[in-house]
Amino acid sequence: MSPKPIKVLMIERSLRCFYCGVMGLIPVLGVPLAIWSMQQYWRVKRDTKGMWNPAETYLKWGLRSARISLATFVILLGSITVLVLYPSIFTSSSE
């Protein structure tokens, strides 16, 4: 069996980037998928410089979804950290 042509690999990786990016939107559990989606994005970009990608829209949306997922996770983690470390900020001290 011959190896797959570069165009086929590019399209498959673009779609994989999209699927993993969307699945990365699942809170907390999707973080590894979001990271993997970003790796797929950079891999496709690196391996196919200058080539036309018919699945470019999927590739871009996969990256966007992954970024949104990671940003949401960082904000959520930061909020929880502030809540745990500084609970006095959120309690009223009316004595």
pTM, full prediction: 0.83
Residue with tokens 């559990």: 29
CA distance 31 to 20: 10
Reading the chain (95 residues) residue by residue, the pLDDT tens digits are 567 888 999 999 999 999 999 999 998 889 999 999 999 999 999 988 888 989 999 999 999 999 999 999 999 999 999 889 888 777 766 55
Give every CB contact of residue 89 below 8 A, 6+ residues apart in sequence.
82
| pLDDT, position 1 | 56
| pLDDT, position 38 | 96
